[in-house]
Amino acid sequence: MTPAPGLLRGAFWAGLISLDITGFGPWMLTQPIASGPLFGWLMGQVNVGIIIGGIVQVVWMDVSPIGVGIPFDAAAVTILAVYWASSVPDCSLAQMMLALSVAVPFGYLFCLMDSYARRVNTLIIRRLESVPDPYLLTSLNLGIVAGLVWSFLRYFLFYALIMWGGDVFFAKVKAYPFPDWLLHGLELSAYLLPIAGLRVALELFLTEEPERRYRPFAGFKPKSP
């Protein structure tokens, strides 16, 4: 099957946006509140990008690639959800939430991909360290260019493959219409998720140790005897 022009265009822009942190960053374009509207505009449905990007931003507000940490890739979730939702003319809230629910697991996959990519980058750096001093500057410049190309290509190929798989999945889903109760539930989630995101925001700004919520029984404090 020949890839659709929209798929290749989407994968190209997705790969370019993803270079924000790894290649040219941080310009903060990979923050969902920015990448959602931007990618939605590039796909021809900026309203879809605003809604999905806003929801992902508030739910994963505390996720940020700072230092050596590799967090959940909220930008990948946003871009994939916007891509699949924008392929539907006059996309409804229920369809946006369906696209978002399908995209969420890929945030973990892209996180894993970045982890392995850093191992490759480490090997490249070690090779550069062994270059004699007279050729070091040239080697560094070539290494930077190669790193940018490598980063873009891996993002482009991953996005293209996943976008294509999603297109096939949603094409099959259209043959089996969802019941009204499920559509209403998906639409309701568009209103409830920002409320859940508000809880994340409040905990992030009002808690001295916001990372404690990831620990079991984080809110449990035994009474002193």
The answer to whether residue 221 sits within a structural domain is no
The answer to whether residue 40 sits within a structural domain is yes
In the chain, the number of structural domains is 1
pLDDT given for residue 183 in this prediction: 87
The answer to whether residue 220 sits within a structural domain is no
Name the 3-class secondary structure at 71.
Answer: coil
How far the first Cα of the chain sits from its last, in Å, is 69
The answer to whether residue 190 sits within a structural domain is yes
Q: What is the pLDDT of residues 183-221, one digit of tens each?
A: 899 999 888 888 887 877 777 677 655 454 444 434 444
d(C-alpha 76, C-alpha 139), whole Å: 32
Q: Which amino acid is at 109?
A: L
The answer to whether residue 222 sits within a structural domain is no
Q: What is the pLDDT of residues 82-96, one digit of tens each?
A: 999 998 888 889 999
Nearest alpha-carbon partner for 75 in 85, 67, 63 = 63
pLDDT given for residue 215 in this prediction: 46
The answer to whether residue 90 sits within a structural domain is yes
Range of the domain at 29: 5-206
Q: What is the pLDDT of residues 17-28, one digit of tens each?
A: 988 866 666 677
d(C-alpha 102, C-alpha 80), whole Å: 9
